[in-house]
Amino acid sequence: MTIPVIAIDGPSASGKGTVAARVAATLGFHYLDSGALYRLTALAALEEEISWDDEAGLAELAAELPVRFDGDRVFLFGEDAGDDIRAEAIGMGASKIAAYPAVRAALLERQRAFRETPGLVTDGRDMGSVVFPDATLKIFLTASAGERAQRRYKQLIDKGESANLQQIQEDIEARDARDAARPVAPLKQEPDAQRLDTTVLSIDQAVETVLSWYQSLCISDR
Ligand SMILES: Nc1ncnc2c1ncn2[C@@H]1O[C@H](COP(=O)(O)OP(=O)(O)OP(=O)(O)O)[C@@H](O)[C@H]1O
Ligand SMILES: Nc1ccn([C@H]2C[C@H](O)[C@@H](COP(=O)(O)O)O2)c(=O)n1
């Protein structure tokens, strides 16, 4: 039996991770935040003094990365790295090193290994196009850049961090431009992905939409 996969791709701060994690919890499926692997590689490179320009060194590091996911926590070299990988500088570093084909190749099988029964929900940029091209349901989840910047701003303020709305929007747009422009596995909506624009949707509405799309596929498969 093929293990079902729900692949959710889309731009930064569109809500992919939040929606994917909730859909996975509702269905009792596993969850993979693929962006965390790129962020962990960027962070580990800093710690190991491997330059973000060194494609071969980064690929070697990515292949051997001592990472452990435990619920919503993530450990690197045995230390909780959840907060460190969320820093904007690490997001930018992840975007930079994600453009290297050797880094993407090194992470490919590691991502596929998360496909386990009863199913997987995953989010990223190339989940439906490259990592799980046979995914059961492919979604391109997006929202306007202004709305995404507001959400990220609120997220930072709620965490007690200082934030500048305009700077956040510029950073989000710069990261999306880099992710969309790279020749390998760029950020883009695939023809077989369903578009979900959450600009005026709540998190609950977005989750309900994904679940209803998945349930209709399950019904039509019977
Ligand atoms: N539909 C929504 N309405 C309001 N807020 C939302 C919605 N979806 C997500 N959010 C909020 O937006 C913020 C960013 O969401 P999230 O981290 O899931 O985005 P992401 O696409 O995974 O980001 P990144 O690509 O940077 O990892 C979170 O604070 C989340 O609670
Ligand atoms: N499947 C993926 C996931 C992530 N990336 C890169 C590009 C992003 O800017 C960066 C951080 O991802 P995020 O945590 O914001 O989802 O990692 C990618 O190229 N492919």
Written as tens digits, the pLDDT of the chain (222 aa) is: 799 999 999 999 999 999 999 999 999 999 999 999 999 999 999 999 999 999 999 999 999 999 999 988 999 999 999 999 999 899 999 999 999 999 999 999 999 999 999 999 999 999 999 999 999 999 999 999 999 999 999 999 999 999 999 999 999 999 999 999 999 999 999 999 999 999 999 999 999 999 999 999 988 777
Ligand 2, atom 9, lies closest to the CA of 95
Q: What is the pLDDT of residue 1?
A: 78
Residues 58, 63, 65: CA angle, nearest 5 degrees: 85
Ligand 2, atom 14, lies closest to the CA of 35
Q: What is the pLDDT of residue 198?
A: 98
ipTM above 0.90, yes or no: yes
What does the alpha-carbon distance between residue 219 and residue 122 come to, in Å, rounded to a whole number?
A: 22
pTM of the full structure: 0.97
Ligand 2, atom 20, lies closest to the CA of 125
222: CA distance to ligand 1 center in Å?
A: 33
> What is the number of the ligand closest to the CA of 13?
1
Q: What residues line ligand 1, using a CB cutoff of 6 Å?
A: 12-18, 35, 123, 151-152, 155, 198, 201-203, 206
> What is the number of the ligand closest to the CA of 184?
2
